[in-house]
């Protein structure tokens, strides 16, 4: 594509090989609808497929008007829009709007994903019910108290829900906010708790969360509200953190099969996961969910599972 960059009183970083000219060099005077100026502009655009104009905000309307008749694609640089990370231009009651976000899954995809969740979760519950019963009995014999641990997590649309897990800590040591991450030598863990965390069996009650619609089988893992890395809560480390909540949280996800799991000691422990979560939001397909589910079996026993 042959692109022309026109600079009118401002500077703009450009890539090597691009044709860059100034409005002064073109001899263009805007605002008076002078045919001679339009002729010079048309001559400059000969052989071009697109033109990009960088100018002062007060002159953007004039450039827009002048280039409406150009038989090329035209873009005008508006640096102040960078903060919005706009995706497209929309229309509301005749007024121009900026589309700053788009739902990751359309209605068809959401129905397809929900059907997959129900099939996988109900089948897994049926097959694994003897295992879950055995874990229940083991917890009751080992430490007594409640079998399930409930903790508030952030779900789709930033709505809170109660995540279910088999209790792996002593009942008196329960941490409802998740401010203290579990460690390999955590004294709060019971004997059974160490085993079910190491084998990820403590996560099985989340199949109920999936059936109830709080979670999906595949998606970004839901974090506890008090989760921190280097003493900062997650959303203060990266302002894109809440973007991951555009879909339901999952029992497993892209970050998990890449090995990003366990305690978040350092800031990069979060940013690595977040990058994978945001990547998952782009271009969802049911085939990728199926691949992630299959790949999860290879990381159930993981060095960072404790």
pLDDT (tens digit, 9 = 90+) per residue, 259-297?
998 888 889 999 999 999 999 998 899 999 999 999 999
Question: Is position 304 within any domain?
Answer: no
The verdict on 13 and 120 lying in the same domain is no
Question: Is position 306 within any domain?
Answer: no
3-class SS of residue 231: coil
Domain that holds residue 121: 107-296
The verdict on 51 and 130 lying in the same domain is no
Percent of the chain with pLDDT over 70: 93
Question: Is position 305 within any domain?
Answer: no
Q: For residue 32, what pLDDT band results from cuts at 50, 70 and 90?
A: low
Residue 275: HSE in the Cβ half-sphere, 13 Å Cα cutoff: 9
- Least confident segment among 36-45, 46-55, 56-65, 142-151: 36-45
Using the predicted structure, report yes or no on whether residue 203 has a pLDDT greater than 70: yes
Report, as an integer, the average pLDDT of 178-194: 75
The verdict on 235 and 118 lying in the same domain is yes
Question: Is position 276 within any domain?
Answer: yes
The strand pair at 73-76 and 50-55 is best described as: parallel
The verdict on 157 and 138 lying in the same domain is yes
User: Residue 171's pLDDT is what?
Assistant: 74
The verdict on 280 and 156 lying in the same domain is yes
The verdict on 172 and 238 lying in the same domain is yes
The verdict on 138 and 82 lying in the same domain is no
Q: How many domains does the chain have?
A: 2
Of 99, 128, 144, the residue at which a domain comes to its end is 99
Q: For residue 165, what pLDDT band results from cuts at 50, 70 and 90?
A: very high
User: Residue 93's pLDDT is what?
Assistant: 86
Question: Is position 303 within any domain?
Answer: no
Cα end-to-end span (Å), the chain:
54
Question: Is position 128 within any domain?
Answer: yes
The verdict on 15 and 138 lying in the same domain is no
The verdict on 260 and 235 lying in the same domain is yes
The verdict on 226 and 89 lying in the same domain is no
Sheet-wide strand order for 73-76: 19-22, 3-8, 50-55, 73-76
Question: Is position 256 within any domain?
Answer: yes
Round to whole Å and give the CA distance between 289 and 104: 14
pLDDT in tens, 59-76: 899 888 888 888 889 999
Using the predicted structure, report yes or no on whether residue 29 has a pLDDT greater than 90: no
Question: Is position 261 within any domain?
Answer: yes
The verdict on 282 and 141 lying in the same domain is yes
Of 50, 76, 99, the residue at which a domain comes to its end is 99
The verdict on 112 and 93 lying in the same domain is no
User: Residue 41's pLDDT is what?
Assistant: 83
- Least confident segment among 113-122, 193-202, 204-213: 193-202
């Amino acid at each position: 594509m042959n692109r022309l960059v026109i600079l009118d009183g401002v500077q703009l970083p450009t890539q090597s090989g691009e044709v860059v000219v100034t409005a002064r060099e073109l001899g263009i005077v805007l605002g008076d609808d002078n045919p001679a100026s339009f002729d010079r502009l048309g001559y400059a655009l000969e052989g071009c497929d697109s033109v990009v104009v960088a100018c002062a905000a007060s002159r953007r309307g004039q450039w827009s008007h002048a280039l409406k008749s150009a038989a090329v694609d035209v873009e005008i640089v508006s640096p102040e829009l960078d903060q919005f990370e706009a995706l497209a231009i929309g229309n509301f009651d005749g007024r121009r709007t900026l589309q700053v976000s788009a739902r990751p899954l359309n209605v068809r995809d959401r129905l397809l994903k929900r059907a997959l969740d129900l099939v996988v979760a109900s089948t897994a519950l049926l097959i694994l019910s003897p295992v879950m019963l055995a874990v229940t009995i083991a917890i009751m014999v080992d430490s007594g108290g409640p079998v399930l641990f409930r903790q508030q997590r952030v779900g789709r649309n930033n709505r809170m829900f109660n995540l279910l897990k088999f209790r792996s800590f002593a009942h008196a040591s329960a941490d409802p906010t998740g401010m203290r991450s579990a460690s390999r030598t955590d004294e709060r863990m019971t004997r059974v708790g160490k085993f079910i965390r190491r084998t990820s069996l403590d996560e099985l009650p989340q199949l109920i969360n999936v059936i109830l619609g709080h979670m999906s089988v595949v998606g970004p893992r839901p974090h506890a509200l008090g989760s921190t890395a280097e003493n900062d809560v997650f959303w203060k480390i990266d302002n894109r953190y809440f973007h991951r909540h555009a879909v339901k949280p999952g029992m497993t996800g892209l970050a998990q099969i890449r090995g990003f799991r366990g305690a978040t000691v350092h800031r990069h422990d979060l940013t690595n996961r977040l990058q994978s979560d945001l990547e998952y939001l782009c271009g969802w397909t049911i085939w990728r969910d199926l691949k992630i589910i299959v790949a999860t079996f290879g990381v159930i026993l993981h060095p960072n599972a404790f």
